[in-house]
Amino acid sequence: MLRNKKIVLGVSGGIAAYKAAALTSKLVQAGAEVKVIMTENALRFIGSTTFQALSRQPVYTDTFHEQDARYIQHIDVADWADLFLIAPATANSIGKLANGIADDMLSTTLLATEAPVYIAPAMNVHMYSHPSVIENMKKLDHWGFRFIEPGEGYLACGYVGKGRLEAPETIVSLLEKETIKSQVLKGKKVLITAGPTREKIDPVRYFTNPSTGKMGYALARQAQRLGAEVTLVSGPVSLEAPSGVKKIAVESAEEMYERVAERFEVSDIVIKSAAVADYRPKQVFDQKMKKSPGDYSVEMERTRDILQHLGDNKSTQYLVGFAAETNDAEEYGRDKLRRKNLDAIVINNVSEAGSGFGHDTNQSIYLTKEGDRVEFPMMSKDDMAEKVLLEIARAVAGDAE
């Protein structure tokens, strides 16, 4: 899967730089074209001649040493790349990338590239767990950068723990798998809903629910990574849109219905993970209601059932719903799958610890109209999003055959 792939390998200044030589060799053996960029500190650990011999390509070490006067070097290399890999990635190189610092050939090229970037950290165990490093990695992950987790073992500093650069052959294998994954939804238009809706009573009060949008945003992020063109229709949440995803912000159930209906016909896959209000106040006041003695009751009316509308009107779309239940979850989920004319449903028991609204983890049961059943144990919402999307991709590919 790496044959003829153009890979830029960024080598930063850590003792694990010597492993990058073996990594270069294995990438070339896998059929990739490899160009190496080394930082000044990487050159303290290993010479550029080694990488030039292994890659049979020029090695870049200085932003201002233009090897071909016809091109601006760091822009040319950034545009050339199909894939960008930083291995080893030190705390310093991660920090630079996370904060937009461009003061050498590697950091300037990283900011200029539009290729997928994979980061393989390598550092002391305490550095790897430092809050600033963790925050920088979280920021980069949210922006769409991919991490290749370091291994555990004896480190050059004498400590034993997490921080050792993953083995070169493992990195190559992971890149091959990621290359396959990046094609599974290529050419597909995916429409995802996320978050809660707000149903106003007056300008300062509304009914809503505890949905944070984390599951829907994870689905959008992973769908984009799998090659899809993703549109995310989101209720009010505190999350930023994943990199490469078109976000449409809405507030009420009616607004969400309108934005989804506009895009439904041109979508290939629709995943409705938003927690849409079932009811809204029948009367909405233009001015703030003043407090008065005694009780107050609000007459409610049904909102439009978005999922039912989609199920009744779908043609070629693959439609997936979510069911957040507190009891008899699978039974209610099966019923919803049938009633709403869905192709599949993800069932969450939100009463279980670590599952449902607000958590970074989830567990669920995935059912299809054909009767397939997959149980996902507790895992991160990003991991679950990927697994759900791979199930969808398999079904869609099967329908196309």
Indicate which CATH number applies to the domain containing 116.
3.40.50.1950
Q: Of 145, 160, 181, which residue sits at a domain end?
A: 181
Q: Of 143, 162, 181, which residue sits at a domain end?
A: 181
Q: Is position 112 within any domain?
A: yes
Q: Of 181, 206, 224, which residue sits at a domain end?
A: 181
One domain for residues 131 and 110: yes
Residue with tokens 């059943």: 373
85-124 tens-digit pLDDT: 999 999 999 999 999 999 999 999 999 999 999 999 999 8
Count of domains for the chain: 2
Q: Which CATH number characterizes residue 323's domain? A: 3.40.50.10300
Residue type at position 9: L
56-94 tens-digit pLDDT: 999 999 998 877 777 888 999 999 999 999 999 999 999
One domain for residues 154 and 199: no
Residue with tokens 């930083």: 86
Answering whether pTM is above 0.85, one says no
Give the residue among 134, 117, 8 at the shortest CA–CA distance from 59. Answer: 8
Full residue range of the structural domain in which residue 395 is found:
189-400
H helix runs in 33-123, sequence order: 48-55, 73-80, 91-98, 105-112
One domain for residues 208 and 113: no
pLDDT attached to residue 161: 59
- Residue 75 main-chain phi, psi, to 5 deg: -75, -40
Give the residue among 75, 30, 37 at the shortest CA–CA distance from 57. Answer: 37
CA distance 54 to 42: 16
Residue with tokens 């050792």: 164
CA distance 165 to 21: 13
Give me the active site residues, please: 157
For residue 210, count CB atoms less than 10 angstroms from its CB and return exposed for 0-12, middle for 13-18, buried for 19 or more.
exposed
For residue 286, count CB atoms less than 10 angstroms from its CB and return exposed for 0-12, middle for 13-18, buried for 19 or more.
exposed
Strands 373-380, 361-368: pairing kind:
antiparallel
Q: Is position 1 within any domain?
A: no
